[in-house]
Amino acid sequence: MEDQSFVRLEVEEGIGRLTFYHEKKNSMPALQLKRLADAITEASDRSDIKVLILQSAGDSSFCAGASFDELVAISNEEEGLAFFSGFANVINAMRNCKKFIIGRIQGKAVGGGVGLASAVDYCFAHESASIKLSELAVGIGPFVVGPAVERKMGLSAFTDLAIDAASWKTAEWAREKGLFNGVYATHDELDEAISKLSRSLSNSSPEAMQHLKAVAWENASHWDSLLLERAAISGKLVLSDYTRNAIQAFKKR
């Protein structure tokens, strides 16, 4: 079957809109992760973009996290490191982006999807946008996305999500913990809130916004190495029989 996935960057009146799509609930294979990291870096360097909106296509799942098909195909630690480094590269691209990134979380976010929502600078969500860090349930653990989630929500909320890996947390819970800045009952209301803020930021000083973003992320300067170290942990654990069996069981549901 032809691959229908894409990452698309569109620009209008100083506002960049970065959209990703994958037919399996907007999950993230390695190629998709590379496309996304590259597009964020491109947006960072473009003078015609003042603010960036990150979103996925459709009105259902925002992002289902790592591609299970690729996880079960990993055969050694080097391949494992390479795959999980894809998430590390995306998060670091978001951290290093010179532009504020607004997240549009229109539906459920799992694993790496929660990491993406945590790594944006300001995040709006639909009320259906429940979240879950399911990694421990398949024998891995949210090691790569953990620093981003902890930075945004705090250690207590992160460990709550990470340990209770089978349970969904509501969008309102995520707002109370600091992940979402606003939760909306309709997608129209969600888009209006995003439009209002993005228009305002597109008229703000690019230099001031860049300095403010640097201040907001100043305690994460070591993430280039930290996230790769975390990727190596996941890359080793994914080879276990427990993880392979658990992922196969999830795929059959």
- The secondary structure element, H or E, covering residue 20 is strand 15-21
Tell how strand 51-56 and strand 15-21 pair up: parallel
Q: Which domain holds residue 95?
A: 6-202
Residue 86, pLDDT score: 97
Per residue, the 3-state secondary structure of 54-66, as one string, reads EEECCCCCCECCE
Residue 248, pLDDT score: 83
Tokens encoding 77: 């630690």
Q: Is position 172 within any domain?
A: yes
Q: Is position 212 within any domain?
A: no
| 97, 167 Cβ separation under 8 angstroms | no
CA dist., res. 57 & res. 23, Å (int): 10
Q: Is position 77 within any domain?
A: yes
Q: Is position 79 within any domain?
A: yes
Contacts of 205 (CB under 8 A, 6+ apart): none
pLDDT under 70: residue ranges of the chain: 1-2
Tokens encoding 124: 């709006």
CA dist., res. 209 & res. 231, Å (int): 30
Per residue, the 3-state secondary structure of 183-220, as one string, reads EECCHHHHHHHHHHHHHHHHCCCHHHHHHHHHHHCHHH
Residue 155 burial class via C-beta count within 10 angstroms: exposed 0-12, middle 13-18, buried 19 and up = exposed
Q: Is position 218 within any domain?
A: no
| CA neighbor of 182 nearest in space, from 198, 194, 170 | 194
- Counting the structural domains of the chain, the total is 1
Q: Is position 17 within any domain?
A: yes
Residue 250, pLDDT score: 76
Beta-carbon count within 10 A of 104 CB:
25
**pLDDT tens figures, 188-213:** 999 999 999 999 999 999 999 999 99
Collapsing DSSP to helix, strand or coil, 156 comes out as helix
| 174, 118 Cβ separation under 8 angstroms | no
Q: Is position 224 within any domain?
A: no
Residue 3, pLDDT score: 75
CA dist., res. 101 & res. 44, Å (int): 10
Q: Is position 217 within any domain?
A: no
Look up tokens 């990491």; give the residue.
115
Per-residue CA distances from 143 to 3, 203, 220, 235 (Å): 29, 37, 15, 10
Residue 2, pLDDT score: 61
The CATH number for 72's domain is 3.90.226.10
Residue 217, pLDDT score: 98
Residue 104, pLDDT score: 98
**Cα 233 vs. chain centroid, distance in angstroms?**
19
